[in-house]
Amino acid sequence: MSIVCALKTDTGVWIGSDTLAVNCQVKEHFGRKWVRCGKFCVGVANKAGVLVGVSIVGRPVARHFDNGQPLEVTRTAPDGTPNANSMLYGAAARATWALGYTRLITYTQAGETGASLRAAGWRVIAERPAHPGWDRPSRPREQRGTEGIPRTLWEAS
């Protein structure tokens, strides 16, 4: 397998049986809503040059992390090819450093092992408890399907 540049038009081609990527937007991967590409996408291709996964990296979702230096892997979408997800996380980290950013984070949900992250050299930096969601009377938000699920915060090292 090899790392490939996943341009926005390239990610519209294909990603897995339960995932559709269009213009760097991954829809319904693991039951989660659309994600938009903020900074860049990285792809993994097999020996035949067929795209077998895409990673989307953008600005951090949590506003207290969004100070201009960290980026967040907001989604990876491999097709199940062995080691593709680890390659995506590793490539995302290398690209982040090459672009001059100082930190790269991501989250896993309860029930996800994080094996691909550990294989790519990432480390756990915090366990986040489940929360009821981002909706508040002063700022209504639409439900995203991640409410009530504990999460683990990871950092590329």
Tokens describing residue 2: 């090899």
- pLDDT score of 101: 95
- Report the Cα 122 to chain-centroid distance in Å: 13
Residue-wise pLDDT tens digits, 44-65: 888 988 888 888 888 888 777 8
Residue-wise pLDDT tens digits, 78-101: 888 999 999 999 999 999 999 999
Query: Rg of the chain's alpha carbons, rounded to an integer?
Result: 15
Which region, left, alpha or beta, applies to residue 83 given φ > 0 means left and ψ of -120 to 50 means alpha?
Answer: left
Q: Which residue has the higher pLDDT, 24 or 7?
A: 7
Q: Which residue has the higher pLDDT, 36 or 141?
A: 141
pTM of the model: 0.79
Average pLDDT over residues 112-139: 89
- Report the Cα 41 to chain-centroid distance in Å: 9
Amino acid (1-letter code) at residue 92: A
Q: What are phi and psi of 125, to 5 degrees?
A: -120, -15
Cα distances from 97 to residues 28, 123, 134, in angstroms, run 29, 16, 30
Torsion of CA 112, 113, 115, 118, to 10 degrees: 100
CATH superfamily of 2-156: Gcn5-related N-acetyltransferase (GNAT) (3.40.630.30)
Rounded to whole angstroms, the Cα distance separating 29 from 18 reads 6
Average pLDDT over residues 12-32: 42
Residue-wise pLDDT tens digits, 27-42: 444 444 445 557 888 8
By the 8 A CB rule, do 73 and 56 touch? yes
Give the number of C-alpha atoms closer than 13 A to the C-alpha of residue 22, restricted to the C-beta side. 4
Place of tokens 């038009």: 9
